[in-house]
Amino acid sequence: MKKLLFALSALLIAGATPALAAPDSASWHMTDARFASAHLPIYRAITSASVLIPGFVTATPNQTGLPCIDCVNSSDPPNTLGLSIPDNYIASGVSTNYFFNFTALSYHGTCRVTISATTTAGTTLFSQQVPVSVQADTSNDVYVTGVANGFSGSAVLSGKAVCGKRSIAITAALYFL
Amino acid sequence: MKKCLVALCVFASTFTAPALATESWDDLTMTTALHGLAAAPAAPGVRVAYIRSPRKPDAGAPSFIVNFVTAGWSQTGVPCINCVAGGATPNLGLPAPYNAAGAGTTMQYVLSLSINTASGTCTAAVTVAAGNKKLYSASDTLTGLSGGPGTIELFFSQAPISYTGPAIVAGKLTCNGMTGVVRAPVLFV
């Protein structure tokens, strides 16, 4: 019978020092970068080589107290994620969080996480890189806040993590109104 | 002719996918997933949250965007709306989107959609595939969309399966002849 290993209480929230990448557009203003990580309840000991799995990348309105881990009421066990309501339409002037989630199994070490938005023509609207310290068997959330203006149209939002020699990435459609 | 709005989430995972002689595992899996999406049976028990947005509809923008699809294991109390302790509303509580789960776990797949001007009836679907195996497929018909901006969260549950290994979860929305598709990797351990 599978043994459920709960390591739920080790909520780690580390204020990461962002390594800002210069945006192509001066109209973007990045304000902050955050990293949160929570240990997973692994159902079976994983003995294989480390595995990195991208979760998703999305835009959400910037709201007090969000995003957060293990913060949902009435949830048992508390392996949860609290988010602002995702909305990949970005209205001009609205403070927005860009959120990227990935899972690390067995891997521990430093990862360089980059969240960026690029126009469909290839112009980088913003790109922010954050070094984070990842523990084994964790779900990891990185998010940045920013204020968009000066661009209207389609873009691609990207979340990428480079952990040692491994790299994972995931993208999503984005539209600036 | 149908327009195709493809928001295809690409990924580069560290999975060791089975090698196939004629078609890559990724390609075969995605082909299986697309077939699964196209023929997804209606699934009872889908929970839908339609949260209206204060932004104004924009006729020049795509009528909808498929935000993401993700996989977590089913947990008591989630997903839920306005249930996050200390979080400003509106907010969304999700099972942690690990995209990894123990085989034999009841799974929950979340499909997140942003609506701009889409109206009437739309169809959403989620499928999970691995190579030529379709592991899960379900769809839901969304009626009564008013053409106002908002976000829809769909939650699909899957009974435990015995499969172990890498897979792809894909989500799709079709509205008024337009289609958006996203995908993400999932690992069953």
Residue B38's nearest CA partner among B142, B128, B139 is B139
* pLDDT tens figures, A45-54: 454 668 899 9
Domains of chain A: 12-176 (2.60.40.10)
Range of the domain at B89: 25-188
At B79-103, the pLDDT tens digits run 888 999 999 999 999 888 779 887 7
Reported as type and span, the H/E element at residue A36 is strand A29-39
**Is residue B14 one of the residues assigned to a domain?**
no
Predicted confidence band of residue B22 (pLDDT cuts 50, 70, 90): low
What Å distances lie between residue B11 and A22, B69, B72, B78, CA to CA? 25, 13, 18, 26
- Tell me, what's the ipTM? 0.86
- Residue of B61, B84, B98 with shortest CB distance to A175: B61
pLDDT at position A94 is: 80
Q: Is residue B127 part of a domain?
A: yes
List chain A residues with pLDDT less than 50.
Answer: 1-30, 43-45, 47
Domain count, chain B: 1
Angle at B36 (CA atoms; ends B31, B37), nearest 5 degrees:
100
Which residues in chain B have their CB less than 8 angstroms from residue A66's CB?
Answer: 84, 87-88, 91
CB contact under 8 A, B67 and A65: no
Chain B hits for A76, Cβ within 8 Å: 75-77
CA pair distance B49, B150, nearest whole angstrom: 10
- The answer to whether position B17 is within a domain reads no
**Burial of residue B95, with CB atoms counted within 10 A of its CB: 0-12 exposed, 13-18 middle, 19 or more buried:** buried
DSSP secondary structure code for residue A44 in this structure: S
Question: Would residue B40 count as lying in a domain?
Answer: yes
Residue B15 Cα to chain centre, angstroms: 21
Of B55, B68, B102, the CB nearest to A56: B68
Residue among B7, B62, B90 whose CB faces A85 most closely: B90
CB contact (8 A) between residue A43 and residue B101? yes
| CA dist B101 → A14, A119, B37, B74, B76 (Å) | 25, 34, 22, 10, 16
Q: How far is A131 from chain B (nearest CA, A)?
A: 19
User: Which of the four pLDDT bands, split at 50, 70 and 90, describes residue B189?
Assistant: confident
Q: A63 to chain B: nearest residue by CA?
A: B88
**B72 part of a folded domain:** yes
CATH code, B142: 2.60.40.10
Distant-in-sequence, close-in-space partners of A34: CB < 8 Å, separation ≥ 6? A13, A15, A16, A141, A142, A143, A144
Residue of chain A whose alpha carbon sits nearest to that of B97: A55
Closest chain B residue to the Cα of A60, Cα to Cα: B91
